[in-house]
Amino acid sequence: MQAEQLTSLVASWAPDQKPGISKQYPEFILPVDKVHSVAKSLKESPETKMDYLFCLTAVDRKDGFHVVYHLTSSEYHHCAVLRIILPDKANPVAPTVSDVWRTAEYFEREVFDLFGIRFENHPDMRRLFLEDDWVGYPLRKDYKDSFTLER
């Protein structure tokens, strides 16, 4: 599917989406409460069939935490990127997409582990890599500990 078609399709599901900055993939910045329904539609719609979430990650930006979803279709081989912005840095909460793509369960645990973004309705919201008693979220820009050497 061409990027223009995809844009109009996403715009029909989420009228207040904004185009993203990605040159490589068509990217849509969505309101936080829309991302789950758009994700579900992208997966289930016969025109898109985005059945594979190949990356879910987060970025610590000045305007808040961005959660970025990279989707592709194993049938049509087209890609799309969804992005949500969580302005509340003290208590960032995002909706889970682990009921849409099972792989998101681990992705979201990783993001929680390193950024401290909690995903609502996630079945098992624990740390993934770090020890359970680890204090802080290391990939946040304001992360400080006594171990790291700054340079």
121 near another protein, judged by CB under 8 A: no
CB closer to another protein, 40 vs 140: 140
Q: For residue 76, how many other CB atoms are within 10 A of its CB?
A: 13
- Binding of another protein at residue 123 (CB under 8 A)? no
144 belongs to the binding site for another protein (CB under 8 A):
yes
Spatial CA neighbour of 8 closest among 66, 55, 47: 47
CA dihedral 118, 123, 129, 130 (to 10 degrees): 60
From candidates 20, 26, 95, 116, binder to another protein by CB under 8 A: 116
Task: Determine which residue in the list 37, 51, 118, 128 makes contact with another protein, applying CB under 8 A.
Answer: 118
Determine the interface stretch with another protein among 14-22, 40-48, 59-67, 137-145 (rule: CB under 8 A): 137-145
What span, in angstroms and rounded, lies between the C-alpha atoms of 106 and 103? 6
CA distance 131 to 124: 15
What is the rounded CA–CA span in Å between residue 29 and residue 148? 34
Kindly write out the interface string for residues 61-90 of this chain, putting x where it contacts another protein by CB under 8 A and - elsewhere.
-----------------------------x
Site for another protein, rule CB under 8 A: 90-91, 112, 116, 118, 125, 129-131, 135-138, 140, 143-151
